[in-house]
Amino acid sequence: MPPSPPNTVDRLGYWGNQTSTLDWCEYNYEVSIYIAEFWNTLSNLFMIVPPLWAIYLGIRQQIGTRLLLCYLSLLVVGIGSWLFHMTLLYEMQLMDELPMVWGTLASSYTLYDIDADESKVNVKLALGLVLYGTIISVVYVTINIPEFHQAAYGLLVAVSFLYSFNLARKKYFPMRWFLLSICMYAVGFAVWNIDNVFCSNLRTVRSGLPGFFAPLTQLHAWWHFFAGYGSYISILYLSQARLKALKRHGHVKVGCIGLYVDVGREKVATE
């Protein structure tokens, strides 16, 4: 894709006028006429590649539908976010934001019902989560206020971390993975806010940096890395907890492309 010359203002690119209700601190179509926010788009690979790898391993290791759905949900968020930042179209914005809610609900179902048999469905829990997701989705699409979506999503994340902390205390998985996940999410949230509040300052600093260093100041892209990989780690420790509940071996390990869950097919012997 042909690069565009450097600029200090947004320009019109391949996808036309912005229709999304949000636009971030990265100048539009600065790197390529085909990608509205180049670095904010590319950084979504941290939410695409890890869950793809986990799904591949999970199918081979037969980890169960629930956990596969959790990884798939993160993958969908990554793809939706890629499309949103690439186009800045409202339809693509919804493909980013709504899966964030529904993906967290999918993980919450397994988190809140960690010991359940794979073949059993917790109807009350499922209906409650679906009702919450439906209300949030309908209200958000109706009022188009990003802060509403952010609050609804933030509430889900906060409750999920509380449940996760409780599981870590009960030794379902090592506390260090929970702490790593929540710290990454906290750092991501911090840089997300800095990017929003101090955008003009960041743009001034960025304009004075050599080309190689300028992308490092794209803090929304860093949000994708920290929050995306933090979410991935949370699914990893959820997988370890779920496998432990089903009396199967499963441990988070470091592999050639990052963290993954090493799963044994045999069940843990019980006394």
Mean pLDDT of 153-160: 95
| Both tokens assigned to 146 | 């990003």
Q: Given pLDDT bands bounded at 50, 70 and 90, which one contains residue 267?
A: low
249 is in an annotated binding site: no
- Residue 255 confidence (pLDDT): 84
| Both tokens assigned to 55 | 């799904």
Contacts of 164 (CB under 8 A, 6+ apart): 111, 178, 181, 234, 237, 238
271 is in an annotated binding site: no
**pLDDT tens digits for range 34-70:** 999 999 999 999 999 999 999 999 999 999 999 999 9
pLDDT higher than threshold 80 for residue 168: yes
Cα–Cα distance measured from residue 64 to residue 55, given in angstroms and rounded to the nearest whole number: 10
pLDDT higher than threshold 60 for residue 196: yes
- Residue 271 confidence (pLDDT): 36
Could you count the other beta carbons within 10 Å of the beta carbon of residue 259?
A: 18
Domain boundaries, the chain: 38-267
**pLDDT tens digits for range 216-240:** 999 999 999 999 999 999 999 999 9
Nearest to 44 by CA among 77, 87, 90: 77
pLDDT higher than threshold 80 for residue 268: no
Contacts of 120 (CB under 8 A, 6+ apart): none
At 191 the three-state DSSP class reads: helix
53 is in an annotated binding site: no
pLDDT higher than threshold 90 for residue 116: no
28 is in an annotated binding site: yes
- Residue 4 confidence (pLDDT): 37
Domain 38-267 has CATH 1.20.120: no
- Residue 264 confidence (pLDDT): 73
Nearest to 249 by CA among 258, 259, 239: 239
Cα–Cα distance measured from residue 150 to residue 139, given in angstroms and rounded to the nearest whole number: 13
Cα–Cα distance measured from residue 74 to residue 124, given in angstroms and rounded to the nearest whole number: 24
Cα–Cα distance measured from residue 119 to residue 129, given in angstroms and rounded to the nearest whole number: 19
Nearest to 24 by CA among 80, 95, 71, 85: 85
Q: The whole model's pTM is what?
A: 0.91
37 is in an annotated binding site: yes
33 burial level (CB within 10 Å; 0-12, 13-18, 19+): middle
251 is in an annotated binding site: no
